Structure 1
Amino acid sequence: MNNRASGGITTVLPAEDLAALRENLNDQRLFRREQVRRLTEPQASRARGGAARRTAARAEVDAKLAAYARMVLTDVEAALRRMDEGSYGICHLCRCSVGLERLRIVPQARYCGRCRQAEEAGP
């Protein structure tokens, strides 16, 4: 459900749903921060069983995983900011509500299902 407030659109989600979504986002934020830390720490502190050298392939995989984790972390933190601003759950394209079921699956979602499908379909 959407409400217009001071010229903008704000979302009205039940308090218990919003609290559960916030908890999920906070858990994801902690997980992604730890993941980035582990993937980017110096190799010497990560070495196990005397395997001090990583292969180039392993270094590339770690770099890609860290980049993905940073991207998700950015999305999660943006969703938490939208919660604080009162615009969480509003599609960035059509300005309609992002469905609660979609938010439960992807709590950092910026787009409703229809706009997401249109975006993926392309021109």
Structure 2
Amino acid sequence: MNRRRFLATSAYSVAAAALPLTQVHEIADRTRAARTGGTAGMAEVEAVRDMVRVFSEMDERHGGRHGRSALVTYLHDEVAPLCRGRFRTEEIRRQMLSAASRGVHLLGWKAYDAGQQGLVIYSS
């Protein structure tokens, strides 16, 4: 039931559903802690890498249009706050920015595949 509640409230639930239940909860807990003032470490970097990999696999299987808006939401709501957070080391910060850039790169290809090359996405 907890997994269903998490997935039902998650805009990127399709991607999260592809991960093991324990990993879904760990990602959510670590991200929440880092976003509320905690220090991000390699566990958060790995969580972002895992989610981007799932979105990439969905892209390969179903095409670029599938999951594009979910990836936008994930990058905006979860990854961007992590990138603005505190990190244990400068190397971990660089790793997080690298993982985030892979997600943004994938999003660019998804927009291209959907014929929305001129689409501008920004956040305040």
TM over 0.5: no
TM-score computed with the length of structure 1 as normaliser: 0.28
